[in-house]
A and B are shown apart, each in its own frame.
Chain A
Amino acid sequence: MFEDRKWLPVFLISPANVLLLLFIAVPSIYIIWLSLHKLTFGMSSTFVGLDNYIQIFSDPIFWRAALNTFIVVNIVVYAELALALILALALNTNFWGKGLVFSILIAPYAVSEVSAVVMWRYLFEPDIGMFNMVLQSFADIQLNWVRNPTHGLTLISILSIWIHLPFTLIILYSAISTVPGDLKNAARVEGATEWQVFLKVTMRFIAPAILVAMMFRYIFATRLFSEVWLLNEGGPARLTEVLGTYLFRAAFRYHDFGTAAATGLAMQFLALLVASFYLYKLYKRMQADG
């Protein structure tokens, strides 16, 4: 197909790649250079070799942040996958008001994070927040996220799922709707139960979409920042710190640009690690389709 125009494929991918090259890839080279230097406002850079990396890797707070990030990201990504799948399936039929229902389900993603955190904080404020008051009267416990880091991470996870569930939902909802009805009917005719239809037909069909959604969700999730920062700034006592807040402090609070660059690259490596499974699957799939 169009084989005579060898340059065509390259031409088609260039606008997208040029954007990325200019605005991310080329600055990244500078970032790599920067991570080997010490730099802040008003002084010229000094070469320090791997000092920045040694510094962050010997900082217990960095590892706590890495652990917290790892835990929250995994909870959030899989919870969202499960919830989005359930919701997408529930939506995959025609009923009056479906558009409105879907829009409401997407709405949390559209809210600015500042407002979302304010509201969730208010609902979960110790003693006086609505949800905590209800929890107190029914189960005699509270989500004491101010004092207890585990509760803190729980609230952060809930908050993050609330904001970001629509991301996975939109992709899955769109993909599920493309599953050809005839395939499903053919399977039903052959005696498959709904569950089998779901597994063998629907899931196989939307698997590539799930892969893409998961991979990007993982990448975006490792940058978890606003939910943590706006809630508790990584507190109490830096116990709910995540890599996103660690990076923010280095870049925007301490203006320690070398360390910020090193942290950013460490996060990139972590994202690569965490998404590698999905990357591999995508690669295999691409080879298979070719």
Chain B
Amino acid sequence: MMNKKNIGEVIYSEEDIKKRIRGIANSINRDFKDKEPLLVGILKGSIYFLSDLSRLLDIDHNIDFLSVGRFQTTEGPREKVKITKDLDLSIRNRDIIVVEDIIRTGLTHSYILKNLEPRRPKSINLCVFLDCKDQRLVDLPIKYSGFDMDDRFVIGYGLDYKEKYRNLTFVAEFEE
């Protein structure tokens, strides 16, 4: 049984989420009509969002996944960020939609974009489930946004606490 003691106030219910993702899917269906975008999910947080979004798209599209992690350098005590799981598909001349569960500072996503841009996609946009605009340090091309989020620590719908609670169908505040 799932330990529910850390699940606090529900911020976005299953119904809220369904409704909002339908709205995003409609926008993508409209914007990419007659195109075939590639949805790139950033592991692991985006899997539920990407799955639900993908199933609501009427247009042809492909999906692929990317994972970013940290590794220890030989140069110093600090870690560096790197791609730990690269895309399987080529993105050259493709319309790319990077799908993410949450964007805070934007540092990780600026790294991802810097990595993808040299591969010469036709276009590249971000689609984020939760957007923490107040914490943003760098500008990003966020085209589709699910909900604005404040600085609370949240779990559910892909978001985890120590790898748990990703499978909640709603987004809730984490309680210590």
Is chain B found bound to chain A in the same assembly?
no
Q: Which residues of B contact A (CB under 8 A)?
A: none
Binding site for B on A (CB under 8 A): none
